[in-house]
Amino acid sequence: MSERPSLRQLEYVVALARTLNFRRAAEACHVSQPALSNQLKQLEHQLGVALFERDTRTVVPTAAGSELAAGAATLLAGVDDLVGAALAGAAPLSGPLRLGVIPTIAPYLLPPALTDLREHFPELRLQIREGSTADLLQALAVGELDLLLLAREAELGSAKVHDLFRDPFHLVVPLGHPLATRKTVRASDLAGEALILLEDGH
């Protein structure tokens, strides 16, 4: 049997399979790009199989690479759960917690929440990643994040959901607009109106 991969090598495989880019994978793992590349080459040599196909512009996992990345993501999530359980036994909300949050919520909710968390749970090491709903859900699925702060309108799959609050929409119209005097507006009232909206994904 070949030498077992290290957890760090498995993290690199998962990151590269997700990003398909050596620079972004290295940034996600907080290492230099040469260090990540060398570890992956060493792992391929250990296993005797190519995990990624590379050229000057693209990186694509091989069949073996895709299978290893999927299994490694599950394994790493299990290791994180074991470490979290051990730390939770020592003190509640201590140790690392990786939180993903969408940018339409982060600047409004996090500042006061972080102040309270530092005061009441000084041993908590909160790591925050801001991103789109799709990217954060993918990171949750492969075990890179523990907890997400999202809008419920998203398709959340099998994730366990807890409602925190309701955030109503507000409609802003020019003075003199037919809807300006209305107390409430239904979606059907906006039919035919020109709207300024965020792009898909936000």
Looking at residue 187, its amino acid is: A
- Domains by residue range for the chain, with CATH: 7-74 (1.10.10.10), 91-193 (3.40.190.10)
Q: Chain-centre distance of CA 187, in angstroms?
A: 31
C-beta of residue 101 within 8 angstroms of C-beta of residue 130: yes
Q: What is the pLDDT along the chain (202 residues), one digit of tens a residue?
A: 567 888 899 999 999 999 999 999 999 898 999 999 999 999 999 999 999 998 777 889 999 999 999 898 888 888 877 777 666 666 667 778 899 999 888 888 889 888 888 888 888 888 999 988 888 888 888 788 889 998 887 777 777 888 888 888 889 999 999 999 988 999 899 998 888 887 776 6
How many of the other CB atoms lie within 10 Å of CB of 22?
19
